[in-house]
Amino acid sequence: MKNLPDVTEQLRLLRENYAQQLPAKLAQVEDAFRQRDDLIELPNLRHLAHSLAGSGATFGYPALSVAARQLETLVDAALCDGRPLTPKESDSAAQLIETLAREARNPMVPAPAPILPASNVLETERKLIYLVEDDASLATDLSLQLGHFGYIVKIFETPTQLLETPVDPLLAAVLMDIVFPQGDLAGPEAIIQLSVARQLRTPVIFFSSRNDLTARLAAARAGGATYMVKPIDVGALIARLDNLVTDLPPEPYRVLIVDDNAPLASHHAVTLQSVGISTDIVTDPMKILAHLDDFKPDLVLMDMYMPGCTGAELAAVIRQLDNYVLVPIVYLSTETDTDRRLIAMQLGADDFLTKPITPEHLVSAVSTRLRRYRVLRSHIEQDSLTGLLNHAAAKDRLATETARAMRQQSCFCLAALDLDHFKNVNDTYGHLIGDGVLKNLAELLKRRLRRTDIVGRIGGEEFVVILPDTDTQQALHLMNELREAFSLVRQRASSDLTFTTTFSCGIAEYRLGANANDIHRLADQALYQAKLAGRNRVMLADSDEWREDDD
């Protein structure tokens, strides 16, 4: 049965195909009808009618089948007697052919409104959730909770309601209860029906107060992606949804190509782009620093011999930068002398690729290193609890962002966040529950912020958010939205006890000439002001502070 959604789709295609061919077939019928007095040609009309009669209803045209059958019978009677159609029969036949034409425009299953192929919908927009739950208060509560994490929830009270609604092309997932007044397994049964009847391509999460094997089996048979037992842990549900609704495709790998030979550099760039790697080219090695900061490469591919400095020297310079101690550096070179290669490696390169190199070899050598680098970097940079950047990595990014803003004369804001009375949470509910709160905040920040925003956990309950190309008013508005959303998130302490918590936030905007430490200090001061003013609020850094600072 697993093929059913696929069958529905194929069937739709066959129907479309049949519908497209119908006008031509009807033209053949009319043509044959015009030649009805020729007894040699008359069987052709019978055959055409027979064919329409036997296929119409299969492809959604039952009335067409009926009319074609009458036409076939009528012609068949004349043929059996070995005579042409009488004038009266001809009139009837003409009327039946008109009916055919009318019914051909009128398929029984109203041709399902063209469903947008999933690829037409931006992945980031796919956050619509269908929630099927007969307990209205639970439904409303879940809907609100999910809303805080950027999901739009449409509630259905019964599985029947769900079945009667056309599936929205933006649908990302279905949350389905198991037990309804309509039946102890009404939820999974409806999902099976939906899969049969329509194209349900989205994952389904079942939840229930039932925890028995029968219910779990029913959910599994209906193709459920996850089974959760009530009461629902919203944090766990969000984490699962985020996994299922993969609306954040992995960031493409970035390779910086350093080569004074521009055509050759472009050639390598095109080769790498063909497998989805994004590239940036530096033809003047003296300009590499700016490219490093702006492009933040995952790997540097460089020519060994260039004017101004050698590749080996350049590698040594890259290694002096804290952020790039780890980045793989790969030489492209005609160098085959092992000693010279060794020296270059000692100066910080990771590998040699010998020119000329085939595109396949280049892609393969680069891809392997890129994958390893990303994994390695994530281990080093991520906070293990929340998956956000850790303290050191967040500070690095802040430094990079400051340098970039200075060079490009752009703006950015830094928001410093701190959970309110977090010690109380830990003391009251225990550290595990406290960790849950931290994870929930991290999830919320990740979900609600742009990909270009940088989020880090820099201490126990302290977080920072770097908002590139954002001014203070935008940042204030955004952080206030997040603060309100978070204050409404129900944190689960136990199966029957929930609580809410809040954070305070201070925002500082980059000003020309400031360094990373200045900005961080000002954001922290604003955060302190927010705490003093009663917590659960967002404060902007005092612009006077900047003036004092300038003096």
Where along the sequence are the contacts to other proteins (CB under 8 A)? Answer: 3-4, 6-7, 10-11, 14, 17-18, 21, 47, 50-51, 53-59, 62, 65, 69, 72, 196
**Helical segments of 449-551, H only:** 472-488, 516-532, 543-550
**Number of neighbours of residue 379 by Cβ within 10 angstroms:** 9
Q: Three-class SS of residue 455? A: strand
The Cα-based distances of 380 to 69, 319, 374 in angstroms read: 75, 17, 10
Q: Which is nearer to other proteins, 3 or 119 (CB)?
A: 3
Q: Which is nearer to other proteins, 23 or 513 (CB)?
A: 23
Q: Which is nearer to other proteins, 11 or 220 (CB)?
A: 11
- Cβ 41 to other proteins, closest distance in Å? 14
Q: 177: which residues sit within 8 A by CB, 6+ positions away?
A: 132, 133, 134, 135, 187, 206, 207, 208
Q: Three-class SS of residue 368? A: helix
Give, rounded to a whole angstrom, the gap between the first and last alpha carbons of the chain.
75
Q: Which is nearer to other proteins, 195 or 386 (CB)?
A: 195
3-state secondary structure 33-71: HHCCCCCCCHHHHHHHHHHHHHHHHHHCCHHHHHHHHHH
**Number of neighbours of residue 389 by Cβ within 10 angstroms:** 24
C-beta of residue 78 within 8 angstroms of C-beta of residue 72: no
Phi-psi region of 244 (alpha: psi -120 to 50; beta: other; left: phi over 0): alpha
Phi-psi region of 229 (alpha: psi -120 to 50; beta: other; left: phi over 0): beta
- Backbone φ and ψ for 276, nearest 5 degrees, come out as 85, 10
- Cβ 182 to other proteins, closest distance in Å? 23
Q: Which is nearer to other proteins, 56 or 223 (CB)?
A: 56
- Secondary structure tally for the chain: helices H, strands E: 20, 17
Q: Which is nearer to other proteins, 8 or 140 (CB)?
A: 8
- Cβ 44 to other proteins, closest distance in Å? 10
- Cβ 79 to other proteins, closest distance in Å? 13
- Cβ 15 to other proteins, closest distance in Å? 9
Q: 131: which residues sit within 8 A by CB, 6+ positions away?
A: 139, 142, 143, 146, 153, 154, 155, 156, 174, 175
Helix (H) or strand (E) holding 494: strand 491-494
Query: How far apart are alpha carbons 406 and 155 in whole angstroms?
Result: 49
Q: Which is nearer to other proteins, 10 or 124 (CB)?
A: 10
Q: Which is nearer to other proteins, 76 or 157 (CB)?
A: 76
- Cβ 50 to other proteins, closest distance in Å? 6
- Cβ 4 to other proteins, closest distance in Å? 8
Q: Which is nearer to other proteins, 36 or 50 (CB)?
A: 50
According to DSSP, the β-strands at 491-494 and 226-229 are unpaired
Q: Which is nearer to other proteins, 18 or 528 (CB)?
A: 18
Amino acid at 123: E
Q: Which is nearer to other proteins, 40 or 213 (CB)?
A: 40
| The two structure tokens encoding residue 236 | 């766990």
- Cβ 5 to other proteins, closest distance in Å? 11
Q: Which is nearer to other proteins, 72 or 233 (CB)?
A: 72
- Cβ 368 to other proteins, closest distance in Å? 40
Helix (H) or strand (E) holding 506: strand 503-509
- Cβ 193 to other proteins, closest distance in Å? 12
- Cβ 112 to other proteins, closest distance in Å? 15
- Cβ 68 to other proteins, closest distance in Å? 9
| The two structure tokens encoding residue 187 | 């939820």
Query: How far apart are alpha carbons 441 and 210 in whole angstroms?
Result: 30
- Cβ 29 to other proteins, closest distance in Å? 15
Q: Which is nearer to other proteins, 23 or 276 (CB)?
A: 23
Q: 544: which residues sit within 8 A by CB, 6+ positions away?
A: none
**Residue 398 burial by Cβ neighbours in a 10 Å radius (0-12, 13-18, 19+):** buried
Query: How far apart are alpha carbons 415 and 523 in whole angstroms?
Result: 6
